[in-house]
Amino acid sequence: MEAKKRTCQVQLTADGRLKHFLGIQGLSQALLTEILDTAESFANMGEQAVKKVPLLRGRTVVNLFFENSTRTRATFELAAKRLSADVLNLDIKTSSTAKGETLMDTLQNMEAMHADMFVVRHADSGAAHFIASQITPRVAIINAGDGRHAHPTQAMLDMFTIRRHKGSFEGLKVAIVGDLLHSRVARSQIRALSTLGVEEVRVVAPKTLIPTGIDSLGVKVFTRLEQGLKDVDVVIMLRLQKERMSGAFLPSENEFYHQYGLTQSRLRLAKPDAIVMHPGPINRGVEIESAVADGPQSVILQQVGYGIATRMAVMSMAMSGQLQERSQ
């Protein structure tokens, strides 16, 4: 409870508005719904002749990606540009950090350039929280994924996808399948789904990929895919995080697909109108069959597009909260 309180104090202004977006834990249903409603207002912007609004005009957003990414970095950059911000993509591999400069030196140099927002992706859990606690309060921090800890904007674009296709969260049964142990997005998804009021969250994985104590988050744990998929409304497949595996968690990828890959026949165990999601990138023939990934129940490509609107919502709300706090 104390950790949740501290997280909220860091993320929110005194009157409860968003000023950083570091994680889902501790945020209210009302605030998560506000993010989704704000994203809805941006959802069709890509179809307009002028794909910009002036909400972040004159503001500078710095993408600090200490870990490789394609989708997340691209959608954050597009989101910032559609909000009319100036965007700086810092290539860490060729920056002074690679020459021995400390993380804090890098951040302080960015502060000296009067940056207004840092979008941070880092391999260490808690990195975004650490940065938010160390830098000047006038810079908004958005967590774009930290270690195995959290990936809150991915979780929120997933929530947006579910609401878009299912209308509401009430009464839904959701199955999250795959590498739960190494997945940061799964933890954020579970917290968001629970806060938004779904009926049931199931997690499905081999025992070696189920984190200790995950049932304390209020989920139902399954080790057989067929049982976990029975009558669910939403199936979220997770990528095997092979780059984070240091031990023999699986006999082989073929064995994983045989036991846990989402095929057309297994999908038929879910409700007929169930949707299939995946945060990407997809490992076809490992986590999911191509016929399912490209099939009529898949909303995987829509997720990517919704990511721009959701990240626009988070960035605009955090900047608004920051500006309000500065004026007080």
Q: Is 231 left (phi over 0), alpha (psi -120 to 50) or beta?
A: left
Active-site annotation holds for 165: no
Active-site annotation holds for 263: no
Residues 304 and 149: their CA atoms lie apart, in Å, by 21
Is 287 in contact with 262 (CB distance < 8 Å)?
yes
Taking residue 260's Cβ as centre, other Cβ atoms within 10 Å add up to 26
Give the closest residue to 62 by CA, choosing from 139, 138, 126.
139
Active-site annotation holds for 59: no
Active-site annotation holds for 114: no
Give the closest residue to 318 by CA, choosing from 110, 78, 80.
80
Structure-block tokens of residue 175 = 């199955």
Residue bearing tokens 């099939």: 295
Which of 7, 38, 60, 72 is catalytic? The answer is: 72
Which of 151, 163, 191, 271 is catalytic? The answer is: 151
Active-site annotation holds for 161: no
Which of 19, 20, 82, 121 is catalytic? The answer is: 121
Which of 17, 71, 230, 244 is catalytic? The answer is: 71
Q: Which amino acid is at 269?
A: L
Which of 94, 99, 136, 212 is catalytic? The answer is: 99
Radius of gyration (Cα) for the chain, nearest Å?
19
Active site residues: 71-72, 99, 121, 151
